[in-house]
């Protein structure tokens, strides 16, 4: 059995599905359940990470400080993880996260813009913190390009590095080639974070582990943007059946998933029309609500909006582009 570390961003990535409105009781309850199951890392925060609560991407129901202190108090065995996008969050946010007891700090960057993480990864290394770097929208770069950027992140101080399939675009062969190239280029653990837009998240995660990834992400009931993330309570037993040990108690994990479905989400994510289209278009799943709201007001087909955003290679943080696309499509329709 090859060990893999499961990283659970239910309380961070799942926020996208409920417009970042998770409250203290939900945060505490799920953190306690995941901890009891022996989940190695429980990540918490606004869906877009530290410092991101705003009018542009949505205000969180709970401040970063309260989210972190609540989850930290709830965890006895599990490590606490946080996520930050440079530009939304700052070094000040990283200092506060460490002060609150964050054990794993991930810095997310667009897959070809690793240099944006250099200062933050270097600072985390100086503090002795466990800083990771994840390359987002990774379908937009070749395996060789991703390996090069991953190696650069390690040079900046990352103690683990890997990919986010932010749009749920990949098929298993895509994951195998990219993770394999990164694993050959670095000497730190490789990460894979999947989304389920095309129904491939578990298969892609297994392919990642088989290609050398040693940190695999999953969310309870797949709780996350659009069609959701890799479904954690399915991922873990499938990994175990394919020769990877996670150290997670299955019944405890199923209990945590039941809590998540009951207390965190109106309904579990489904692979619906817009999720499929965003996956095919290669567009960030977190755009779903904004696209639907703007297109409904303008009388524009949201499917057309997603495909046009994909043509323009829109990335997370470019939410303003949604309005531009909807406006232009509305004029064309008239």
Q: Is 14 contained in some domain? A: yes
pLDDT for residue 325 is more than 90: yes
What pLDDT is recorded for position 210?
98
Q: What is the CATH number of the domain that holds 255?
A: 3.20.20.70
pLDDT for residue 95 is more than 80: yes
**Average pLDDT of span 222-229:** 91
315 and 174 in a single domain? The answer is no
**Confidence grade of residue 40 (pLDDT, cut at 50, 70, 90):** very high
Distance in Å from the first CA to the final CA of the chain:
61
pLDDT for residue 317 is more than 80: no
Please indicate whether residue 132 is annotated as part of the active site.
no
Sign of CA dihedral 252, 254, 258, 260: positive
Burial (CB count within 10 angstroms: exposed 0-12, middle 13-18, buried 19+), residue 55: exposed
Q: Enumerate the known binding-site residues for Mn(2+).
A: 13, 193, 195
Q: Using only C-alpha atoms, what is the Rg of the chain?
A: 18
What pLDDT is recorded for position 316?
74
What pLDDT is recorded for position 57?
84
**Average pLDDT of span 231-244:** 98
203 and 143 in a single domain? The answer is yes
Token pair listed for 226: 């659009």
Long-range contacts, 69-73 (Cβ 8 Å, 24+): 69/100, 70/24, 70/27, 70/28, 70/31, 70/44, 71/11, 71/27, 71/28, 71/31, 71/42, 71/44, 72/100, 72/101, 72/102, 73/28
pLDDT for residue 333 is more than 80: no
What pLDDT is recorded for position 334?
59
The angle subtended at Cα 7 by Cα 196 and Cα 139, nearest 5°, is: 40
pLDDT for residue 120 is more than 80: yes
CA gap 121, 304 in Å, rounded: 38
The chain-wide mean pLDDT, for the chain, equals: 96
pLDDT for residue 253 is more than 70: yes
CA gap 42, 236 in Å, rounded: 15
pLDDT for residue 289 is more than 90: no
Beta bridge mates, 229 = 195
Token pair listed for 230: 């890799």
Please give the model's pTM, rounded to 2 decimal places: 0.94
Q: Enumerate the known binding-site residues.
A: 12-13, 166, 193, 195
Q: Enumerate the known binding-site residues for substrate.
A: 12-13, 166, 193
33 and 91 in a single domain? The answer is yes
82 and 194 in a single domain? The answer is yes
What pLDDT is recorded for position 54?
93
Q: Which residue is associated with the tokens 């946010």?
A: 93
User: To 10 degrees, what angle do helices 143-156 and 118-127 make?
Assistant: 40
Q: Is 270 contained in some domain? A: no
Q: Is 272 contained in some domain? A: no
Beta bridge mates, 159 = none
Residue 306: HSE in the Cβ half-sphere, 13 Å Cα cutoff: 27
Q: Is 254 contained in some domain? A: yes
240 and 301 in a single domain? The answer is no
Domain containing 75 equals: 2-264
63 and 192 in a single domain? The answer is yes
- What digits encode the pLDDT tens for the residues 53-77? 998 889 999 999 999 999 999 999 9
Out of 7, 16, 20, 139, which one is annotated catalytic? 16
Token pair listed for 185: 């280029």
Domains of the chain: total: 2
**Average pLDDT of span 160-164:** 98
């Amino acid at each position: 059995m090859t060990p893999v570390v499961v990283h659970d961003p239910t309380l961070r990535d799942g926020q996208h599905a409920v417009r970042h409105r998770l409250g203290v009781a939900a945060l505490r309850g799920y953190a306690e359940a995941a901890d009891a199951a022996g989940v190695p890392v429980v990540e918490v925060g606004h869906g877009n990470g530290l410092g991101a609560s705003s009018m542009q991407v949505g205000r969180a129901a709970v401040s970063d400080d309260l989210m972190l202190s609540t989850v930290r108090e709830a965890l006895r065995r599990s490590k606490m993880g946080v996520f930050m996008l440079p530009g939304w969050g700052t070094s000040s946010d990283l200092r506060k996260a460490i002060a609150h007891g964050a054990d794993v700090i991930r810095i997310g960057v667009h897959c070809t813009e690793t240099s944006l993480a250099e200062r933050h990864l270097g600072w985390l290394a100086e503090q002795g913190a466990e800083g990771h770097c994840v390359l987002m929208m990774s379908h937009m770069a070749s395996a060789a390009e991703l390996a090069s950027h991953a190696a650069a992140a390690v040079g900046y101080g990352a103690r683990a590095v890997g990919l986010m399939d932010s749009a749920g675009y990949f098929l298993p062969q895509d994951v195998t080639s990219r993770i394999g190239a990164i694993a050959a280029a670095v000497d730190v653990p490789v990460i894979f974070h999947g989304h389920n837009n095309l129904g491939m998240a578990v298969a892609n995660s297994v392919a990642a582990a088989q290609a050398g990834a040693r940190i695999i992400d999953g969310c309870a009931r797949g709780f996350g943007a659009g069609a959701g993330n890799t479904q954690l309570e399915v991922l873990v037993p499938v990994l175990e059946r394919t020769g990877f040990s996670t150290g997670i108690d299955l019944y405890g994990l199923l209990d945590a998933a039941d809590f998540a479905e009951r207390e965190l989400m109106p309904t579990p994510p489904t692979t619906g029309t817009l999720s499929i289209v965003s996956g095919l278009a290669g567009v960030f799943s977190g755009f779903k609500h904004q696209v639907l709201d703007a297109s409904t007001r303008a009388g524009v087909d949201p499917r057309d909006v997603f495909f046009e955003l994909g043509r323009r290679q829109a990335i997370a943080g470019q939410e303003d582009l949604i309005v531009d696309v909807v406006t232009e499509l509305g004029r064309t329709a008239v």
